[in-house]
C-alpha cells in the first residue's frame, strides 16, 4: 500500500510530500526530519498528514517526539478524521509541583478552525487555527489543588468548530528539574460508549504513581474501580479502588490500593466506573521513575466499541528498547485472544489461543520471545537479530460482548523513553468462521487413547490475512452414539479412549462470530453461526464408510475405499462381505493401509444382482485365529443404469448392431421397414430396430431389449383368425445385441425384429396383421430400466405366383410407427 506523507509547518504550510510504499503488514520507522528538505529545517514543524487510497486504517501511524527536554518523549497517534465523533476534547493529568503544561492544537483540515479552551483555572482561551496550522498553548495552573499536598491536577475542555476530527488536541506536562515529562492525552467525549474507562500495563514499582480522574458532567458522580494484577485468575482477586465522589466538573486523584509488594502490580490493568452517564469521566495514570527520568503514561480507553477487541502495534527492539504487549480482559466473562508477531524479516510467529479470565492480563514480551528463542506452536522462532515488527492481536471465539484492552509499551531505560502504542488495527476483530478437529477421524484400539485438538479458523473483515488454527478448549463433547469411546474436555488437547468396537460422530458446542466493517469507522456483529467442530471417532474394528458407496449392476468397481479402523494390515486377513452370499456381489481386498484404517477393494456386481442396498461388513482374522466382524450400519447401493428407447424403421440395420448378420440371414437384406423377406421364411415383413440408449454410456453390463404384444389380430381378408393380448415377444438372442459396448456402440443395445406374414400358398386371399407392441430395456434380472416404448405394425400380404406382395387396399397399411393402431382388418 502506498501513501503520501506531508509535513506541515506550524503555520500550516506544507513541505514537499514524500511517497512511501509499505509492504503488507510492514512496519517502518520514519525520521520526520528526513521528510523535509534540509533547507527548510529551520521551520517549526506542526502537523503531519498521510494520504492513501484503500481501506480505513490501511495505514496507521504514531508520532513519537523523543529527547524532549533532553530526557523524555511524547507520543501522539495519527488517526483519520473519521475516528472522531466531535471536535471537542477533554483531558486531565497529573501536574507535579513546578511543572508546566502545554497544549498542542492542530487543524487537520483545509479550513480555519476556532477552538475555545476552558482551563481548570477558570480561564477561557480562544484560539484560531489556520488550515493545517499547529499552535502550542500554555496551560495555566489550576486554582484548586488536589488533596495530595505539593502536587496539582490540571485539566482542559476544548470546543472546536469545524468538522469532527479536524481539531487535534494533545500536549505535554514537564518539569525539567524533576526529569518529568508526560503526554497530555485528550479524549473525544462524543466517542464514549459507556460510563467506564480502562487501562492496562500499569507500572507501580520504584516510582511515584498518580491516578487522576475528572467528572465531565454537570452532576456529581461516584467513581469506583479495581486493579487487576497480571495473571489474575479470578475477579475476586482484583484490588478494589475506594469510591470517590466528584462534584460536577471536578478533578481528583484516586487512592491506589496497597498491594504489599508494588512489583506485584506491575503490568496490572485498571477499570474505573462512574455512577454517571456515558462519557461522564476521563482518567489519566502516570508513573514517574525519577532515577531513570522515565515517565510512563497510560492511555485510558472506552471499550464499548468492537474496535477495542483488536489491536496492531509496531514494536522495536533496537538498542535497549523493549516492547511488551498487554491485553486485559475487562469484560464480565471469560474471553480469549489470539495473536501473531510479524517481524520485518522472517516468518510469521503464531500465538495460539490464550484464554483470559475476567481481569486477567496477558503479557507478551517481544524481546524475551526473541532472545530466549521461544518457538511458536508451529516451531517458528523470531529471528535473533530482528529489531522491528508488528504485533497483532484479536479477540477470538467471542460473542461480541467481550471487553478487552491492549497496549504496547515500548521502553528504552537507557534513554528514558517510554511510549504507548494503542492504535486500532483496521477496527474489526477477526471473525471466527470455521472450526474443525484434528484428526477428523480419531482412531483408537479398545482401551487405547488418542489425542484430539479442536481448532477454529478466522477471517479478517478488513480483508487482511488472518491466521487460522486457533486451539479451542472444549467445554464438553457430545457423542452421538455412546459406548464406543469416551472424550475428555476442558483441556486444549482432549483424550479419546476406546471402549468397544464401533464408531460415532461427536462434536463440541461452539459458536463462531462474524464481524463486518461498516465501511466507515465501526464494526458490528452480524452473525454467530453454530460451528460445533467435530468428527467421527473409530474404536476397535469398525467401518466408517465406503467410497464410492454405489455401483451399477454389471459393473466391476476397482479402488473402492473402505475406511474405518482396526483392519488387519495383512491384506488376506480382511474379508469383505457385501450383502449375502448368492446375491451376486463379491468384494476382494486389493490393498490395506499401513495403519489399518483403509481397505482398497474391488467389488464385482454381477449382471444378475438386483438393485438395492446391501450391508457391508469386514471380518478381521486376528493373529490368534479369532475373528471379529464389524457391526456398523454401512451400506453399498447397487443401482441400475437407465435407458431410453427409440425405434428405427427405415434405412439399414445399424452397423454396430451385433445382430446385423443374423437379420441379414433371416431376411436376405439389412433394410428396415416394409420388406419382402427372402430368407429361410420369405414373406411380407416390417423390419425394425429398437434401440436402447444406456446411461451412463460406458456401462458394460448386459441390457436386454424386451418386447410385449399388448394386443394384436390376424385376418384372412376380413375375418379374424387369431389374436393375443399381453404376450411376451422378446426376440431370441441372435437378433439382439445386449452388449452396450459391442461394435463401438458406446451405450447402445439393439433388438431387431421383422413381424409379418408368410402365406403358405398362392391364393387370392389377403392376409392381414394388426399389432400393438411396446418395447423396454431391462437388466438380466428383469429390472426394467427404461420407459415403455409403444408402437404398432400393420401388414397385409398375399402370395402370388410371382412371389409375395404387400396389399394396400386399406389406407395406411403396411406401416410401422409409434403409438397404437386399431386392430380391425381395416385398421379403423
Interface residue list for another protein (CB under 8 A): 655-658, 660-667, 677, 679-681, 683, 685, 687, 709, 714, 716, 721-722, 729, 731-735, 739, 742-744, 752-761, 763-764, 767, 769, 771
Q: Which is nearer to another protein, 116 or 739 (CB)?
A: 739
CB of 552 to another protein, least distance (A): 20
Task: Note whether 658 and 571 are within 8 A (CB).
Answer: no
559: its cell numbers: 479402488
Q: Which residues contact 218 (CB under 8 A, 6 or more apart)?
A: 248, 249
Residue 284 grid coordinates: 489519566
* Helix residue ranges per DSSP H, 88-229: none
Residue 745: CB minimum distance to another protein, A: 11
Half-sphere exposure of 660 (CA within 13 A, CB side): 12
Residues forming beta bridges with residue 452, ordered by sequence position: 494
Q: Return the residue matching grid coordinates 488550515.
A: 131
For the bound state, the minimum distance from the C-beta of residue 742 to another protein, rounded and expressed in Å, comes to 5
Minimum CB separation of residue 659 from another protein in Å reads: 8
How many other CB atoms are found less than 10 A from the CB of residue 687?
26
Nearer to another protein, 761 or 828 (CB): 761
Closer residue to another protein (CB): 407 or 706: 706
Q: How far is the CB of 729 from another protein (least distance, A)?
A: 6
Q: Please give the full DSSP string across 621-676, using - where no structure is assigned.
A: E-TTS-EEE-----EEEEE--EEEEEEE-SSB--TT-TTHHHHHHHHS--B-EEEE
Residue 412 or residue 737: which is nearer to another protein going by CB?
737
CB–CB of 666/720 below 8 Å? Answer: no
Nearer to another protein, 10 or 735 (CB): 735
Residue 176 has, within 13 A of its CA and on its CB side, a CA count of 4
Would you call the peptide bond into 647 cis, given omega within 30 degrees of 0 as the criterion? no
Which residues face 411 on adjacent strands?
Answer: 322, 418
Name which of 430 and 789 has its Cβ closer to another protein: 789
Cα dist. 580→550, 572, 577, 583, 734 in Å? 16, 20, 7, 6, 34
Least distance to another protein from the beta carbon of 755, Å?
5
H-state helical runs in 113-261: none
Question: Which is nearer to another protein, 218 or 732 (by Cβ)?
Answer: 732
At closest approach, how far in Å is the CB of 825 from another protein? 14
Q: How far is the CB of 697 from another protein (least distance, A)?
A: 18
Please report how close the Cβ of residue 560 comes to another protein at its closest, in angstroms. Answer: 27
CB of 709 to another protein, least distance (A): 7
Q: Which is nearer to another protein, 550 or 741 (CB)?
A: 741
**In the structure, how many helices (H) and strands (E) does the chain have?**
2, 62
Give me the least distance between CB of 824 and another protein, in Å please: 16
Q: For another protein, which is the closer residue by CB, 619 or 678? A: 678
Q: Find out whether 686 and 754 touch, Cβ atoms under 8 Å.
A: yes
SS3 content of the chain, % helix, strand, coil (to 5): 5, 50, 45
CA-CA distance, 230 to 337, in Å (whole number)? 16
Measured between its terminal Cα atoms, the distance across the chain in Å is 86
Please name the residue that has the C-alpha cell 477477526: 430
Q: Cβ closer to another protein: 632 or 657?
A: 657
Indicate the residue among 13 and 758 with the shorter CB distance to another protein: 758
Q: Which is nearer to another protein, 276 or 687 (CB)?
A: 687
Residue 701: φ, ψ to 5°: -75, 170
Closer to another protein by CB, 470 or 769: give it. 769
| Distance in Å, CB of 710 to another protein, minimum | 13
Q: How far apart are CA 163 and CA 80, in angstroms?
A: 12
Neighbours of 716 (CB within 10 A): 14
* Closest CB 732 distance from another protein, rounded Å: 5
Burial of 15 (0-12, 13-18, 19+ CB in 10 A): middle
**210 and 322 Cβ atoms separated by less than 8 Å:** no
Distances (CA, A) of 303 to 170, 278, 312, 383, 700: 21, 12, 16, 34, 69
**Do 388 and 343 contact (CB within 8 A), yes or no?**
yes
Cα separation, 567 vs 497, in Å, equals: 18
In angstroms, give the least distance from the CB of 666 to another protein: 4
Grid cell 444406456 is found at 694
Residues 6 or more apart whose CB falls under 8 angstroms from that of 729 comprise 707, 708, 709, 773
Of the pair 151, 768, the CB lying nearest another protein is at 768
For 279, list phi and psi in degrees, rounded to 5: 65, 30
**Least separation in angstroms between CB 655 and another protein:** 5
Cβ proximity to another protein: between 391 and 767 the closer is 767
User: Which three cell numbers mark 656?
Assistant: 454396430
CB of 451 vs another protein, minimal distance in Å: 57
Residue 379 or 680: the one with the smaller Cβ distance to another protein is 680
Output 41 or 717, the one with its CB closest to another protein.
Answer: 717
Q: Which residues contact 673 (CB under 8 A, 6 or more apart)?
A: 649, 650, 651, 686, 687, 688, 816
Q: How far is the CB of 723 from another protein (least distance, A)?
A: 9
DSSP state of 554: T
Of 94 and 806, nearer to another protein (C-beta) is 806
Pair 429, 473: CB distance under 8 Å: no
- Min separation Cβ 608 and another protein, Å: 13
Amino acid at each position: 500500500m502506498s501513501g503520501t506523507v506531508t509535513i506541515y509547518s506550524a503555520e500550516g504550510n506544507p513541505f514537499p510530500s514524500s511517497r512511501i510504499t509499505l509492504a503488507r503488514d510492514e512496519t517502518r520507522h520514519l525520521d520526520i526530519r528526513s521528510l523535509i528538505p534540509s533547507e527548510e529545517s529551520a521551520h517549526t514543524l506542526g502537523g503531519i498528514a498521510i494520504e492513501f487510497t484503500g481501506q480505513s486504517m490501511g495505514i496507521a501511524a504514531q508520532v513519537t517526539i523523543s529527547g524532549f527536554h533532553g530526557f523524555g518523549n511524547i507520543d501522539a497517534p495519527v488517526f483519520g478524521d473519521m475516528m472522531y465523533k466531535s471536535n471537542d476534547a477533554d483531558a486531565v493529568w497529573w501536574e507535579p509541583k513546578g511543572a508546566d503544561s502545554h497544549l498542542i492544537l492542530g487543524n487537520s483540515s483545509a479550513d480555519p478552525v476556532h477552538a475555545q479552551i476552558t482551563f481548570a483555572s477558570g480561564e477561557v482561551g480562544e484560539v484560531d487555527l489556520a488550515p493545517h496550522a499547529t499552535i502550542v498553548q500554555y496551560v495555566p495552573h489550576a486554582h484548586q489543588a488536589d488533596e495530595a499536598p505539593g502536587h496539582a491536577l490540571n485539566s482542559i475542555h476544548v470546543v472546536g468548530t469545524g468538522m469532527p476530527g479536524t481539531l487535534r488536541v494533545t500536549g505535554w506536562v514537564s518539569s525539567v528539574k524533576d526529569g518529568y515529562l508526560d503526554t497530555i492525552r485528550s479524549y473525544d467525549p462524543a466517542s464514549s460508549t459507556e460510563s467506564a474507562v480502562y487501562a492496562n500495563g500499569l507500572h507501580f514499582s520504584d516510582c511515584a504513581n498518580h491516578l487522576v480522574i475528572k467528572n465531565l458532567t454537570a452532576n456529581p458522580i461516584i467513581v469506583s474501580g479495581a486493579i487487576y494484577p497480571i495473571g489474575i485468575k479470578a475477579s475476586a482477586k482484583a484490588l478494589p479502588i475506594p469510591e470517590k465522589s466528584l462534584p460536577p466538573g471536578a478533578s481528583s486523584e484516586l487512592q491506589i490500593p496497597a498491594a504489599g509488594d508494588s512489583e506485584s502490580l506491575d503490568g496490572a490493568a485498571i477499570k474505573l466506573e462512574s455512577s454517571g452517564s456515558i462519557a461522564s469521566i476521563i482518567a489519566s495514570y502516570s508513573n514517574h521513575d525519577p532515577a531513570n527520568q522515565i515517565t510512563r503514561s497510560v492511555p485510558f480507553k472506552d471499550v464499548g466499541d468492537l474496535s477495542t477487541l483488536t489491536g496492531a502495534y509496531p514494536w522495536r527492539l533496537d538498542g535497549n528498547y523493549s516492547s511488551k504487549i498487554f491485553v486485559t480482559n475487562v469484560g464480565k466473562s471469560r474471553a480469549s485472544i489470539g495473536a501473531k508477531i510479524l517481524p520485518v524479516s522472517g516468518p510469521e510467529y503464531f500465538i495460539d489461543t490464550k484464554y483470559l479470565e475476567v481481569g486477567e492480563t496477558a503479557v507478551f514480551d517481544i524481546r524475551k520471545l526473541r532472545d530466549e528463542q521461544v518457538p511458536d506452536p508451529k516451531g517458528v522462532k523470531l529471528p535473533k537479530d530482528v529489531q522491528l515488527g508488528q504485533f497483532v492481536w484479536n479477540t477470538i471465539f467471542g460473542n461480541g460482548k467481550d471487553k478487552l484492552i491492549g497496549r504496547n509499551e515500548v521502553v528504552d531505560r537507557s534513554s528514558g523513553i517510554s511510549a504507548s502504542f494503542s492504535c486500532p488495527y483496521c477496527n474489526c476483530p477477526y471473525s471466527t468462521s470455521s472450526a474443525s478437529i484434528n484428526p477428523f477421524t480419531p482412531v483408537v484400539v479398545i482401551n487405547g487413547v488418542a489425542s484430539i485438538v479442536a481448532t477454529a479458523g478466522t477471517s479478517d473483515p478488513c480483508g487482511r490475512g488472518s491466521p487460522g488454527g486457533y486451539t479451542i478448549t472444549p467445554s464438553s463433547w457430545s457423542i452421538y452414539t455412546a459406548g464406543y469411546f469416551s472424550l475428555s474436555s476442558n483441556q486444549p488437547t482432549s483424550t479419546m479412549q476406546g471402549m468397544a468396537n464401533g464408531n460415532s460422530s461427536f462434536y463440541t458446542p461452539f459458536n463462531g462470530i462474524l464481524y463486518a466493517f461498516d465501511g466507515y469507522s465501526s464494526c458490528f456483529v452480524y452473525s454467530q453461526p453454530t460451528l460445533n467442530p467435530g468428527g467421527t471417532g473409530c474404536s476397535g474394528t469398525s467401518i466408517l464408510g465406503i467410497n464410492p458407496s454405489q455401483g451399477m449392476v454389471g459393473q466391476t468397481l476397482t479402488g473402492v475405499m473402505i475406511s474405518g479402523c482396526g483392519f488387519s494390515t495383512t491384506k488376506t486377513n480382511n474379508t469383505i462381505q457385501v450383502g449375502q452370499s448368492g446375491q451376486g456381489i463379491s468384494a476382494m481386498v486389493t490393498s490395506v493401509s499401513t495403519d489399518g484404517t483403509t481397505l482398497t477393494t474391488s467389488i464385482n456386481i454381477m449382471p444378475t444382482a438386483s438393485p438395492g442396498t446391501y450391508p457391508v461388513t469386514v471380518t478381521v482374522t486376528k493373529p490368534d485365529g479369532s475373528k471379529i466382524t464389524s457391526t456398523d450400519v454401512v451400506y453399498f447401493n447397487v443401482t441400475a443404469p437407465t435407458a431410453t428407447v427409440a425405434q428405427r424403421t427405415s434405412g439399414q440395420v445399424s452397423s454396430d448392431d451385433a445382430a446385423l448378420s443374423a437379420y441379414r440371414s433371416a431376411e436376405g437384406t439389412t433394410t428396415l421397414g416394409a420388406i419382402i423377406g427372402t430368407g429361410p421364411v420369405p414373406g411380407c415383413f416390417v423390419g425394425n430396430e429398437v434401440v436402447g440408449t444406456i446411461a451412463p454410456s460406458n456401462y458394460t453390463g448386459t441390457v436386454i431389449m424386451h418386447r410385449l404384444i399388448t394386443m394384436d389380430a390376424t385376418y384372412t381378408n376380413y375375418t379374424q383368425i387369431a389374436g393375443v393380448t399381453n404376450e411376451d415377444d422378446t426376440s431370441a438372442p441372435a437378433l439382439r445385441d445386449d452388449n452396450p459396448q459391442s461394435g463401438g456402440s458406446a451405450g447402445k443395445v439393439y433388438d431387431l425384429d421383422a413381424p409379418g406374414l408368410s402365406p403358405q400358398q398362392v391364393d387370392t386371399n389377403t392376409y392381414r396383421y394388426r399389432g400393438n407392441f411396446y418395447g423396454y430395456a431391462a437388466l438380466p434380472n428383469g429390472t426394467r430400466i427404461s420407459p415403455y416404448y409403444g408402437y404398432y405394425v400393420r401388414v397385409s400380404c398375399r402370395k402370388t405366383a410371382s412371389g409375395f406382395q404387400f396389399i394396400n387396399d386399406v389406407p395406411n397399411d403396411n406401416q410401422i410407427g409409434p403409438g397404437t393402431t386399431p386392430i380391425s382388418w381395416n385398421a379403423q
